[in-house]
Structure 1
Amino acid sequence: MDDHRNPARSIDDFATWEPMLRLVRASRAERLAVPGARVAGHIGRGGWSVPIKQGVSQTHRDERDAVGRVRDALAEDGIDTVSFSVEVDPAGRALLHILEYGPAVESGVGPHPGALVLVEGSLPQPWHRLPDAVPGARPAPSADPELLERTLRERLPDAVGATEAEIAAAETRLGIALPDELKALYRVTRSHWEDWQDDDEAARRQAEAVRCELFGLADLYVAEAATRYFLWRFAAMDAIDLRPDAAVQGLVGSPGWIVFGDNGGGDRLAVDLTPGPRGHTGQVIILSHEESVGAGLVADSLTDMMLDRRRRAESGLRGAGRESPAVAWVNASSVRSLEAAADPGLEVVSIGVWNDPPLSLAPLIGLPRLRTLTAYPGTIADPREIAGLTGLEYLELAPRDWRVLLDAGVVPRGLQAASIKASHDDDPLPVAALADELLALWGRPPITRTALTGDLGPAADGLGDL
């Protein structure tokens, strides 16, 4: 959607961009001297990447100040991030294109759009997986609610504990009964800030006593899959790992993971009521804030955790998934053919750097669980073979391969999300136009474009332009 606007918003005022564009012109003078050539970047409230060479600005502050004007405008207008592409003629007349990716496009890398969410509210397949039943699961022999409560009362003699009514209310809100050890913990301390009378030292003493930053009863939550953040381009590459020798089921989330605290570094601690075949009901697990799948084992019981009898945490699922038959990384230094990767359990195929002739996708056709395919430019001999991969929910291709599918009318309509694998130097405008074609097939909102024109005047020698 092209839009030539009046500057009703600060971000649509050419003056907002002018100081930064002067730096860009000085940095990329040779590139911009080519008729019709553009340079691109992106600016967001959380960071930026702009084509300004070191040494062009008189100080690093010049760039910070110039970009800061744009970031201030984003904050004022309530916009998180924008990409831009600009061309400047020899006389200094500039044409600036601003791209806002909108609700159907996730954040990407550099100036290009991220994953296109083709079906609103869609979730990658691992987010739908529920835990397997483990009929023989029992609490660990070390689980001892009475010992746990007695130990914590010795450590926290003045703590205010939760009442039975408060514990029952938490169970009603969560829709799940709290295990006995967790109840024992909250009978000692309900972990309310007001109980410490704004005493930071009292909060520190409690965290030391209970071996974590303990949430109050009102902040307990069940870590079901929907509570874990994801981006399609990463989550589509994950696979659930339910090994028969695992203590923890390698899920995104579970209706039996009750989060009760934090390790102080952003990782969540939970009691696990849906353990793996080698685990124990009520074991303590940790959900890394750097991963979206899987959890590590901390202790066989809350009692063990409080008494510092911890277990070495199991590795996260992302590494395990890369070694399983469900995920194949086909490239010059890993799996060397699609025939070698083909397996009835294969879910994810990523074709990376490839020095041999392009590959036929024939070995993948008919695999019952294949749902994700990503491919570097030039690695697929005939993109139209993708039409035979009927179970795909996520597809990531280079612009040229998407063009083949669009022109042939064989874009898989079962897709939930898609990505365009653009190179860093690709102009974001044609990439955005391609993205709009894909979004239109699903009736999703297009990318918003705003075109601004302005006069930077003739370029001066050296840094005088600045």
Structure 2
Amino acid sequence: MPSTHDVATWEPLLRLLLQDNAERLAAPGGYVAGHIGRGSWSVPVTPPAFQPGRAAQVSDMQTEWDAVGRVRSVLEESDVDEVSFMLETPAPGKALLHLFDRGPAVESGVATRFGALVLVEGAVPEPWRRLPDPSPDAVPAPTADAALLERTLRERLPEAIGATEQELAATEARLGVTLPEELKALYRVTRARWEDLGGDYSAATRMAKAVGCELLALDEVYVADTASRPAPWEFAAMDAVETRPDAAVQGLVGSPGWIVFGDTGGGDRIAVDLTPGPAGYLGQIIVMNHEENCGAGLVADSVTDMVLDRRPDERRGAGREAQPPAVAWVNRSGIPSVEAAAHSGLEALSIGVWEGEPLSLEPLVGLPRLRTLTAYPGTLADPLEIARLEGLEFLELAPEEWRVLLDAGAVPRGLSAAAIEVHGERNPLPIVALANEILGLWDRPLITRTVIEADLGPVA
């Protein structure tokens, strides 16, 4: 089987990189870097001159497509998700290719080659550890009417094939929860299997219109717990959840009481909520935005209301009093100072682009809930102040600030994850070495590097 470490796998791409980056690679310390995954890639090659007036086509970049395609096919055959690389040319026609395997302790990066360093195996940010508050006094909405719901749907979907009691019981056993009566009434009318519709898209459209959403097949219904809504540490650490005293829906990433049974048609999931907020109803309908990591919105007070297109009382939650934000962004166009951001409920602070004097972290010392700090390069007056911030579980700093902490032995050992903020084009070798130094403090698997030497001869 071809390997990602074979010269033949990379040779077409290496020739293309040498051809398009000759001047850059010939400069002292010159290099180029990129990454290739099964579904996407980023390689430093000259973009083609597209013909005005027509859409771009694969043929316009066929050379790049073929060269990258050879690497991608080997990744798929080897069951490897992605590979990052750096290319140097120590002499004309000579290629020194560095391949990086981020390993199990490093998340995949979005805008960078490497994402967060997971310092504690299996660790997730605090909102992903949050369980719903008990709601023993919650009751179904007065509008919940399983009998009316079933009659209405049978009138609208007279030819639908419903689930048997055995199928409903099997679903409850699979999920480990008891389905609410309204949801069972819905699936007694239609189990929503595609094969039951005979591949008829118009029938699926009629079903969605009758129910009020795109209904999942009974065997696709699932519980939207926190594990069903994963997010990279770099983004999730800047999320916070809260449940107001007048909230209909609890502020959560997920819940063992959120039973997903539908979709809006745009990727947002529809669920029955069995763990409502203080002002909510047991069995209310909520929607989870696929573009957000946490939280849910109220759709209807019951499945019956959703099917009958009755909206919830919008006055619930209207009396909310403004609270200082649990997540704060200090930068030249946001909150004007660390002092202004600091309060007892602050959970996450991001210090961004800053044009004034470097900032002190003194106002953050002693804050009981602060768990996340990220800082743009050069914004901290004294990085060693970080050592006084007890309770941090995620820290993102530029390489220079990490170096200060490492040299002083002041890296907070309570961290669960960390990230190195890299701006602009930087040689990945020292970044990888720094990441491995941080990982080593927790005895975590390191980023590995494999070097391939290739003699490509004259490059046109």
Q: How high is the TM-score relative to the length of structure 1?
A: 0.90
Q: Cα 1:219–1:330, aligned 2, differ >3 Å: closer, same or farther?
A: same
Q: Does 1:408 find its partner at 2:408?
A: yes
Aligned counterparts of 1:236 and 1:145: Cα–Cα separation in 2: 41
Please list every run of 5 or more consecutive structure 1 residues that lacks an aligned counterpart in the other structure.
1-7, 315-319, 460-464
Q: 2:41 aligns to what?
A: 48
Superposed, 1:291-310 pairs within 5 Å as 291-310=292-311
Aligned counterparts of 2:109 and 2:280: Cα–Cα separation in 1: 38
Q: Cα 1:153–1:400, aligned 2, differ >3 Å: closer, same or farther?
A: same
C-alpha deviation, 1:279, in angstroms: 2.3
Which digits, 9 at most, give the CA deviation of each residue in 1:11-50, with x for residues without a partner?
A: 1112222222222223322221212321111111111111
C-alpha deviation, 1:116, in angstroms: 0.7
Q: 1:96 aligns to what?
A: 97
C-alpha deviation, 1:113, in angstroms: 1.0
Are the counterparts in 1 of residues 112 and 422 from structure 2 also a CA contact under 8 Å? no
Q: Does 1:395 find its partner at 2:388?
A: no
SS of 1:106's equivalent in the other structure is strand
Q: 1:35 aligns to what?
A: 28
Are the counterparts in 2 of residues 84 and 111 from structure 1 also a CA contact under 8 Å? no
Q: 1:11 aligns to what?
A: 4
Aligned residues: 447
Q: Match for 2:61: what amino acid? A: H
Q: Does 1:386 find its partner at 2:386?
A: yes
Q: Does 1:155 find its partner at 2:156?
A: yes
Aligned counterparts of 2:163 and 2:304: Cα–Cα separation in 1: 19
Q: Cα 1:178–1:324, aligned 2, differ >3 Å: closer, same or farther?
A: farther
Which digits, 9 at most, give the CA deviation of each residue in 1:296-320, with x for residues without a partner?
A: 1111211111112245999xxxxx9
Are the counterparts in 2 of residues 261 and 270 from structure 1 also a CA contact under 8 Å? yes
Q: Match for 1:77: what amino acid? A: S
Q: Match for 1:351: what amino acid? A: I
Q: 2:171 aligns to what?
A: 170
- State which drifts further: 40-49 or 59-68: 59-68
Q: Cα 1:341–1:435, aligned 2, differ >3 Å: closer, same or farther?
A: same
Q: 2:352 aligns to what?
A: 352
Aligned counterparts of 1:192 and 1:85: Cα–Cα separation in 2: 49
Are the counterparts in 2 of residues 248 and 276 from structure 1 also a CA contact under 8 Å? yes
C-alpha deviation, 1:83, in angstroms: 0.9
Aligned counterparts of 1:44 and 1:268: Cα–Cα separation in 2: 28
Q: 2:431 aligns to what?
A: 431
Aligned counterparts of 1:313 and 1:226: Cα–Cα separation in 2: 30
Q: 1:290 aligns to what?
A: 291
C-alpha deviation, 1:109, in angstroms: 3.3
User: What is the alpha-carbon root mean square deviation over aligned residues?
Assistant: 2.4
Are the counterparts in 2 of residues 26 and 56 from structure 1 also a CA contact under 8 Å? no
Aligned counterparts of 1:216 and 1:246: Cα–Cα separation in 2: 30
Q: Match for 2:162: what amino acid? A: G
Q: 2:280 aligns to what?
A: 279
Aligned counterparts of 1:61 and 1:311: Cα–Cα separation in 2: 54
Q: 1:317 aligns to what?
A: none
C-alpha deviation, 1:176, in angstroms: 2.5
- State which drifts further: 68-77 or 191-200: 191-200
Are the counterparts in 1 of residues 324 and 345 from structure 2 also a CA contact under 8 Å? no
Which digits, 9 at most, give the CA deviation of each residue in 1:248-273, with x for residues without a partner?
A: 11200112111112222222110112
Q: Cα 1:386–1:14, aligned 2, differ >3 Å: closer, same or farther?
A: same
Aligned counterparts of 1:275 and 1:340: Cα–Cα separation in 2: 34
SS of 2:142's equivalent in the other structure is coil
Q: Does 1:20 find its partner at 2:21?
A: no
Aligned counterparts of 1:59 and 1:174: Cα–Cα separation in 2: 49
Q: Match for 2:449: what amino acid? A: R
C-alpha deviation, 1:227, in angstroms: 1.5
Q: Cα 1:312–1:17, aligned 2, differ >3 Å: closer, same or farther?
A: farther
Q: 1:210 aligns to what?
A: 211
Are the counterparts in 1 of residues 246 and 279 from structure 2 also a CA contact under 8 Å? yes
Are the counterparts in 2 of residues 296 and 313 from structure 1 also a CA contact under 8 Å? no
Q: Does 1:246 find its partner at 2:239?
A: no
C-alpha deviation, 1:153, in angstroms: 0.5
Q: Match for 1:152: what amino acid? A: L
Please list every run of 5 or more consecutive structure 2 residues that lacks an aligned counterpart in the other structure.
51-58
Q: Match for 1:430: what amino acid? A: P
Between the two proteins, what is the percent identity of the paired residues? 64
Are the counterparts in 2 of residues 90 and 458 from structure 1 also a CA contact under 8 Å? no
Are the counterparts in 2 of residues 83 and 111 from structure 1 also a CA contact under 8 Å? no
- State which drifts further: 330-339 or 103-112: 103-112
Q: 2:450 aligns to what?
A: 450
Q: Match for 2:225: what amino acid? A: E
Q: Cα 1:257–1:121, aligned 2, differ >3 Å: closer, same or farther?
A: same
C-alpha deviation, 1:170, in angstroms: 2.7
Superposed, 1:66-85 pairs within 5 Å as 66-85=67-86
Q: 1:367 aligns to what?
A: 367
Are the counterparts in 2 of residues 41 and 110 from structure 1 also a CA contact under 8 Å? no
Aligned counterparts of 1:334 and 1:118: Cα–Cα separation in 2: 31
- State which drifts further: 406-415 or 28-37: 28-37
SS of 1:138's equivalent in the other structure is coil
Q: 1:226 aligns to what?
A: 227
Which digits, 9 at most, give the CA deviation of each residue in 1:161-210, with x for residues without a partner?
A: 22334333333333322222112112212233444455555444333322
Which digits, 9 at most, give the CA deviation of each residue in 1:235-257, with x for residues without a partner?
A: 00000021233221120011211
Aligned counterparts of 1:376 and 1:417: Cα–Cα separation in 2: 17
Q: 2:125 aligns to what?
A: 124
Q: Match for 1:36: what amino acid? A: G
Aligned counterparts of 2:63 and 2:398: Cα–Cα separation in 1: 36
SS of 1:207's equivalent in the other structure is helix
C-alpha deviation, 1:323, in angstroms: 8.2
Are the counterparts in 2 of residues 42 and 110 from structure 1 also a CA contact under 8 Å? no
Q: 2:341 aligns to what?
A: 341
Are the counterparts in 1 of residues 324 and 343 from structure 2 also a CA contact under 8 Å? no
Q: Cα 1:290–1:101, aligned 2, differ >3 Å: closer, same or farther?
A: same
Segments ≥4 residues shifted beyond 6 Å:
none
